[in-house]
Structure 1
């Protein structure tokens, strides 16, 4: 049985996640972090060791998280990671959503759900399936494999065929590397000044770039979250953008962050906080880079490498962009 735990984090955010993962580590060594707020735990051994069922173990995690860190959580449990994640999306604080491991229990959980509820089925694929009358999971599950493969292609058809029947070949990967990192810049008050908005975004991209380069990683996309004031209180908007190529180059990250900010049209908004997430992390040595003949780009990257060495030796604040030095 797999637990999917989503912690309802406050302003302390991702900084608390390692401590919360430690709570799960007391139950099972097979824990996979899914930042910023989620973790998967394979508790099959813990069920036997503690003599409790999945719902009781989930209650134990919830009580410890509240008692030790003041953090509530929503928990889903299922026989595989996909079903556990789907169950967690339906769970509420204080109530664990459990998907039984039997074939009948899985079928009952999946039946009548819209096909887009399946992992890996986006809006485009869902529209394609709906044109053939396959608009719910139970209808997709009843369709022959060959039909789905003719509609979606051999690989995608097989994946949807399996998932509609509750089959997930994924596993919980112990101590898996984080697939994303994030940083946040709150303002002490609702901030109107666009120059301060851009300054906050610059500091975010600098921080994420330094962190990724320090760990030998690059990201494939950025997600920008803006919390701003409106007539209803505070509203949160999130936008993401895929990079032209995987990178940890701060200037490239800044360019994309500024572009997302401009596209939101919030230059006169009263912003309370920005958060930026680097997603799709992977090893830098495996990333392809488009060669350029721009001497300015080469110079910027050499300066960036020199600045990273200085930070490693003398501290993070020894080198900062001029716009952040004031």
Structure 2
């Protein structure tokens, strides 16, 4: 089995697992993802779903039972995921969720699957974080990173060494305390067991790291159109839209928006996706992929719709219904947005 296990000692106990199909195999289906979460549940009940393709697992209570360290349990996860679902995974192993996620993101993109461990030792944690850019820290988006870099704080090590008072003047008190702790490898957040909400999602991976915001918006239009069709075909609406942007350095930014009303109307989904994207201020950001996820799904018959006297809205919905009929009769390519991109 391809992949590598890297460990320098210590006793970490948090796994960040990102499930991956082979190149060109498409995104995980909802049923497969649920099965993979159940697979993690065979090792520990403390599993936090991170749709559409990842999860945290706290295996502290499973170490003695299985007689293995956390990296060994990560190896079991890989073997079972491959055997049952044909899905490999990259696993980060560390003493807290932040470090585990970063360890997984640090794995080579050329390796189909790997287990990478950050030992629970101050020196090892500092060495692991030393040259990481600010965007590698969770919650630090491009705008915050630009602000930090403008003051010469262009790595986790420099942020960790900066006086807290200086960071507070740059970022504000609350944000500065959080970012300063992250830069030193401190993340008090526990793994919180949860169940994923009824949801559906789609991802567009660019052939090359994408700098053009117009092409990113075209990808979002394509994803929103496809999700809207899936909602209407299955007789559902969505209450929440989630945007995930993955960058060239394998860091991610995730933002969500609760829609004004549960909907399956593509223009509303597209507008929400554009608003989330534009709010990130991704100037010169090298984007590897964008993904949209719809949460809070419910039967369309149970969803309330605010009536409007806007003739443009009524016309848009009639055109959408006609396009759906054309797709049903002649195939999905019968009606597409003008800015449609082929989804990888």
TM-score in terms of structure 1 length: 0.67
Residue among 26, 37, 52 paired with 2:68: 52
SS at match of 1:32: strand
Contact residue 16 and residue 104 of structure 2 kept, 8 A: yes
The structure that has the greater radius of gyration is: 1
Are 1:13 and 2:27 matched, yes or no? yes
**In structure 2, what is the Cα distance between the partners aligned to 1:175 and 1:6?**
17
Q: Deviations over 1:283-324 (max 9, x none)?
A: 99xxxx998853558979x99xxx9xxxxxxxxxxx994343
- Unaligned 5+ segments in structure 1 are 186-197, 226-239, 261-274, 308-318
Q: Does the C-alpha gap of structure 1 residues 50 and 126 become closer, same or farther in structure 2, counting only changes over 3 Å?
A: same
Distance 1:3 1:110, change over 3 A: same
Q: Distance in 1 between matches of 2:223 and 2:297?
A: 27
Match of 2:262 in 1: 248
Q: Does 1:2 align with 2:14?
A: yes
CA contact 2:240–2:258 (8 Å) conserved in 1: no
Matches within 5 A, 1:306-317: none
Q: Which runs of 5+ in 2 are unaligned?
A: 1-12, 205-220, 247-253, 275-288, 299-303, 330-344
More helix by share: 1
Please tell me whether the aligned partners of residues 241 and 273 of structure 2 are also in contact (alpha carbons under 8 angstroms). no
1-side partners of 2:134 and 2:307: how far apart?
44
Residues 247 and 94 of structure 1, relative CA distance in 2, 3 Å threshold: same
Q: What is the aligned length?
A: 266
Partner Cα distance (1:134, 1:179) in 2: 41
Query: Residues of 1 paired with 2:198 and 2:162: CA distance?
Result: 34
Residue of 192, 196, 219 corresponding to 1:177: 196
For residues 179-208 of structure 1, the C-alpha deviation after alignment (integer angstroms, 9 at most, x for no partner) is 9621589xxxxxxxxxxxx99975531323
Which residue number in structure 1 is paired with residue 327 of structure 2? 324
Match of 1:145 among 143, 154, 164: 164
Greater RCO between the two (CA within 8 Å, min separation 6)? Answer: 2
Residue matched to 2:239? 218
